[in-house]
Amino acid sequence: MAQIITRVKQKQITQMIDNEKRMDGRGLRDYREMKIEQGLIERAEGSARVLLGKTEVVVGVKIEMGEPFPDTPNEGVLTVNAELTPIASPIFEAGPPDEDSIELARIVDRGIRESKAIDTEKLVIEPGKKVFVVFVDVYVLNHDGNLIDTSALAAVAALLNTKMANYEVKEGEVKIKPGYEKLPINKRPITVTIAKIGNKLIVDPLLEEEQIMDARISMAIDDDGHICAIQKGGSGYFEPNQLLEASKIVEQKAKEIRKKLNW
Amino acid sequence: MNDKPEKLIDKKGLRLDGRKADELRPVKLEVGVISNADGSAYIEHGKNKILAAVYGPREVHPKHLALQDRTVVKCRYHMAPFSVQERKSPAPSRREVELSKMIRESLEPAIFMEYYPRTMIDVFIEVLQADGGTRCASITAAALALADSGIPMRDLVVACAAGKIDNTVVLDLMDTEDKVGSADVPVALMPNLNAVTLLQMDGNLTREEFETAVNMALDGCRKIYAMQKEALKTKYVNVGEEIKEEAED
């Protein structure tokens, strides 16, 4: 699913980055402007729209009742799905999820799951039988690079905004009561993606930068500054010392974003 | 199978299967195991039993996927329904789709893709039995299969995982350790170029622990790399002897 990029452009971007400059005037370690809007979809239990430069993602959260997994009878269920809608880019096609959307969904999922962001034990109605299932649907509306960070941010923002129905169990039957309570959230993971172009590491890559990058690495950082998920992508490689450099940049960037968002 | 062990490391510092913290499971490698394939390899890594086969470079199918300046590498990681405790549906799961992509991206940097424009190289991986760390064992086997097929490569690719169990960073997690433990870090390496081509992680690690885990996994990779080279050599020594015998007959 590659879009063609001319060699002239390729060379131009690489040379600029080599001289510590970017196409849009940012420094190598700067994020684009970030905008977050929560609760825009009233029908959903939770929602958020995140803009990172021109990249735009909406996440909707729906909560339904369902069965727990047999190996985790005392935990609710989290399901993350991502749609690369054909609206968002000429390279996206309608149809069943391809490997890119599955990878995106699984990166977002791992960030939330491994940081234990949702207190899943509080989602149990009847152990082993009935639990709440949290569906997180990532909708990409405009693709201008760094879908991973944007989607991960939007997913957590939507979860923070999610309401759960009140219920009571009467004679084995679950009854929904009026009113809502907040979805129990423990952690607010932040995912930061680093792209390697030439021998430089940059944050928040633009679409054109992603098209020419050697490889990328995404790390999810929890509230304590611990790493809870990593994914390398792209058909290139990192040297071991670049991985450690990347982990330091990510730690720093996650801290800055956390401060800015007051998370 | 549902009873989780309380302790993964005993008082003597030994793990459930008697290994030390930085000890690999036994690894057995064999090259050229499928006669129909252009290249193939078999790996036993602990209880993991995995076959990898390479077909190509061959005609691209479907045709519109062809690239004018390089080959297209396709990878399919697949688990047999009987490879795990509870039968796995043979249809590809989301996990398998993701792993296929990860494995492909970990092998591509080693292949001289520009040598074969307008062609396709298929890498097929069948997990016959799984015991934790299948993606790493798959990469190790698939790289051998690629080398066996004669496709020019910059380096072999070898993979190994490290992780954290009972607050200790250890090498090469097996199934139970992966499920009960608190972190898993699979790493793939091109040993001569010192280039990391796969890195994933889930769990919870500080940056220091992450560094320790990566270094431990890289050491594990280098140990398996020696066995990889040996396995390749063994096949061609055998082939050489067969030719000699034929000549004598």
Q: Find the CATH number of the domain harbouring B232.
A: 3.30.230.70
Residue A195 placed within a domain: yes
Of B2, B199, B206, the CB nearest to A243: B199
Query: The domain containing residue A96 runs over which residues?
Result: 7-261
Interface confidence (ipTM) of the complex = 0.91
In whole angstroms, what is the distance from residue A156 CA to residue A51 CA? Answer: 14
In whole angstroms, what is the distance from residue A149 CA to residue A108 CA? Answer: 9
- Report chain A residues touching chain B, CB-CB < 8 A: 71, 97, 99, 102-103, 105-106, 110, 113-115, 215, 217, 219, 222, 225-240, 243-244, 247-248, 251
Residue A75 placed within a domain: yes
Residue B8 placed within a domain: no
Nearest CA in chain A to B188: A237
**Cβ separation of A232 and B101 shorter than 8 Å?**
no
Of B95, B105, B201, the CB nearest to A227: B201
pLDDT tops 90 at residue B47: yes
Read off the pLDDT band of B3 (50, 70, 90).
Answer: low
**Cβ separation of A247 and B201 shorter than 8 Å?**
no
Read off the pLDDT band of A162 (50, 70, 90).
Answer: very high
Best residue of B77, B96, B108, B207 to probe chain A, by most A CBs closer than 10 Å? B207
Residue B5 placed within a domain: no
In whole angstroms, what is the distance from residue B91 CA to residue A122 CA? Answer: 33
In whole angstroms, what is the distance from residue B144 CA to residue B99 CA? Answer: 18
pTM confidence score: 0.93
User: HEC string of B87-113?
Assistant: CCCCCCCHHHHHHHHHHHHHHHHHECH
Residue A204 placed within a domain: yes
Q: Give residue B30's pLDDT.
A: 97
Best residue of A91, A187, A230, A251 to probe chain B, by most B CBs closer than 10 Å? A230
Count the domains in chain A.
Answer: 1
Average pLDDT over residues B30-44: 97
pLDDT tens-digit readout, B149-166: 999 999 999 999 999 999
pLDDT tops 60 at residue A228: yes
Best residue of B157, B196, B212, B218 to probe chain A, by most A CBs closer than 10 Å? B196
Count the domains in chain B.
Answer: 1
**Cβ separation of A115 and B204 shorter than 8 Å?**
yes
Structure tokens given for B119: 């062609």
Of B101, B105, B203, the CB nearest to A114: B203
Residue B4 placed within a domain: no
Query: The domain containing residue B92 runs over which residues?
Result: 27-242
* Distances A195 to A1, A34, A248, B175, B218 between C-alpha atoms, Å: 19, 19, 14, 32, 22
Q: Give residue B1's pLDDT.
A: 44
**Cβ separation of B199 and A222 shorter than 8 Å?**
no
